[in-house]
Amino acid sequence: MTGHVPVLTAEALQFLQPARGGLFVDCTVGLGGHTRALLEAGATRVIGLDRDLDALAIARETLAPWHDRVELVHADYRALDDVLDRRGISLVDGALADLGVSSLQFDAPGRGFSFQRDEPLDMRMDRSGGDTAADLVARSSEEEMADAIFQYGEERFSRRIARAIAAARREAPIATTGQLAAIVRRVIPRRGYTRIDPATRTFQALRIWVNRELEGLDRFIETAARRLRAGARLVVITFHSLEDRIVKHTLRALERREAAVTVLTKKPVTPLDDEVQRNPRARSAKLRAAERVA
């Protein structure tokens, strides 16, 4: 898979300190870029989780030189407790979660994450089951769609968009990304140049909705922090404000509630200009970190 560049890698390594060795968990292993960096920097062993089977297959190739030090698991990051319990592991030496959509998901034909091509409206990170975006668009009420587009996409024209989707599906099923993007573009007022396509926020909202991206994120952070041994650190990388807000507030709440957890990033770490120039998709990334001190 070409074109995949892991984001904020140097910064993540600076916080995680894999040179000390030990067992690390990459809770969203994706195509394997961050895990490879952890291993090259000295991590003794890495358990990599991902709910995307296609990504895991590529990660297995990427990480083949370290096959005896890596275990890849088909699992949602929110299943961290179960994954570790099944292996008899109580504590780890570091945990990383990169919550962004991978290049594979955006770029591979047939995934339905992007409106750059007209293809089936899928958007599932885990294609082994669950509703597609087309399923949600077909059966959700107009009010449910409007609420989701507003909440997850922060789209101020959400009511107008939901009304247009409901009207269009009465004529024919909305089955492709091109159909949906065209509906959204028709109903959003155009006032001169805009940096993003009018359909962007609606597609983000549907992706978050389909994959339940915000559901249980706070509990995952609490779980990951609890699984750290003393001195170990948790790093979470987000790509939109809704996720970052949850990460920030959950880490702060943990710090207030548990003297054993210290937030290391009072403000999020963001990519340097040269990284954004090399990889424009990094521009919205934010990294937050915490340490278990006892």
Q: How far is CA 108 from CA 111, 135, 173, 272, in A?
A: 6, 21, 24, 27
- Looking at the structure, tell me whether residues 94 and 16 fall in a common domain: yes
3-state secondary structure (DSSP) of residue 105? helix
Please check whether residue 40 is in contact with residue 6, taking contact to mean a CB–CB distance below 8 angstroms: no
Q: For 193-197, which contacts have Cβ atoms below 8 Å and span 24 or more sequence positions?
A: 197/115
Write down which residue in 177, 211, 245 finishes a domain: 211
Return the pLDDT at 243: 96
Final residue in a domain of this structure, among 192, 211, 230: 211
The total of structural domains in the chain comes to 2
Tokens encoding 278: 């090399």
Within this chain, do residues 181 and 53 fall inside the same structural domain, yes or no? no
pLDDT value at position 193?
63
Where is the domain boundary, 152, 177, 211?
A: 211
What is the reported pLDDT for 3? Answer: 47
pLDDT given for residue 192 in this prediction: 64
Q: Which residues, 6 or more positions from 86, have their beta carbon under 8 angstroms from its beta carbon?
A: none
Instruction: State whether 163 and 224 are in the same domain.
Output: no
Quote the pLDDT of residue 4: 61
194 and 220 co-located in one domain: no
Would you write out the chain's pLDDT as a tens digit for each of its 294 residues?
444 679 999 999 999 999 999 999 999 999 999 999 999 999 999 999 999 999 999 999 999 999 999 999 999 999 999 999 999 999 999 999 999 887 777 777 889 998 989 999 999 999 988 999 999 999 999 999 999 999 999 999 999 999 999 999 999 999 999 999 999 999 998 876 667 899 999 999 999 999 999 999 999 999 999 999 999 999 999 999 999 999 999 999 999 998 899 999 999 999 999 999 998 889 999 999 999 998
In a domain, 2, yes or no: no
pLDDT at 2: 42
Q: Note the pLDDT of residue 66.
A: 98
Residue-number span of the structural domain to which 128 is assigned: 109-211
Is residue 62 assigned to a domain?
yes
Q: Please give the biggest Cα pair distance in the chain.
A: 61
Helix (H, G, I), strand (E, B) or coil at 8: coil
Q: Please give the structure tokens belonging to residue 204.
A: 């983000």
The CATH number of whichever domain residue 59 belongs to comes to: 3.40.50.150
Distance of CA 86 to the CA centre of its chain: 24
Tell me what pLDDT residue 82 has. Answer: 98
Instruction: Locate all alpha helices (DSSP H) within 126-236, ordered by sequence.
Output: 133-139, 142-153, 158-171, 177-187, 200-211, 217-226
Residues 231 and 207 reside in one and the same domain: no
- CA dist., res. 264 & res. 261, Å (int): 9
Same domain, 240 and 259: yes
User: Do 20 and 82 sit in the same domain of this protein?
Assistant: yes
Indicate if 147 and 193 belong to the same structural domain. yes
Distance (Å) of CA 137 to CA 104, 200, 209, 211, 214:
24, 16, 11, 14, 19
Q: Are residues 75 and 221 in the same domain?
A: yes
One domain, residues 90 and 123:
no
Q: What is the pLDDT of residue 100?
A: 80
Whether 1 is covered by a domain: the verdict is no
Residue 225 within a domain: yes
Q: Residue 4: inside a domain, yes or no?
A: no
123 plus 190 within the same structural domain = yes
Q: Which of 188, 77, 180 is nearest to 122 (CA)?
A: 180
Residues 27 and 80 in one domain: yes
**Inside any domain, residue 104:** no
Q: Which residues of 156-173 are buried (b: 16+ CB within 10 A; e: fewer)?
A: ebbbbbbebbbebbeeee
Residue 174: inside a domain: yes
CATH number of the domain to which 179 belongs: 1.10.150.170
Residue 3 is assigned to a structural domain of this protein: no
